[in-house]
Chain A
Amino acid sequence: MPMVIENVTKLVANEKHIDSISLELEPGTFNILLGRTLSGKTSLMRLMAGLDKPTAGRILMDGQDLTRLSVRKRDVAMVYQQFINYPSMTVSENIASPLRLAKVSPSEIDRRVREVAEMLHIENLLDRLPVELSGGQQQRTAIARALVKDAELLLLDEPLVNLDYKLREELRTEMREIFKRRQSIVVYATTEPLEALALGGNTAVLHEGRLEQFGPTIDVYQHPRTTRIAQAFSDPAMNFVAGKVDGNNLHLADTLQAPLQNHLRGLTPGDYRFGMRPSHLQLQRTTDSDIEFQTTLDLAEISGSETFVHVLHNAQSWTVQQQGIHNYRMGEKTQVYIDPSRLYVFDLDGHLVASPEQHSAARSLR
Chain B
Amino acid sequence: TGRLPNSKAGDDKPRLLLMGQPRSGKSSISSVVFHKLPPSETLYLETTTRIKKESMHSFMDFQVWDLPGHVDYFDPSFHVDHIFEEIGALIWVIDAQDEYLEAIMQLNKTILNLQHSYPSINVEVFVHKVDGLSDDYKADTFRDIIQRVTDELSDHGYENAPVSFYQTSIYDHSIFEAFSKVIQKLIPQLPTLEALLDSLCQSCRIEKAYLFDIMSKIYIAADTSPTDGGSYEIASDYIDVVIDVSEIYGWDRTLALEVEEEEIRGESGCNDAESLITMERKGNHYLYLREINKYLALICLMGDDSPAEKKAVIDYNVGVFQTALKQVFPRAEREPPGHHH
Bound pair (A, B): no
* Chain A residues engaging chain B, CB cutoff 8 angstroms: none
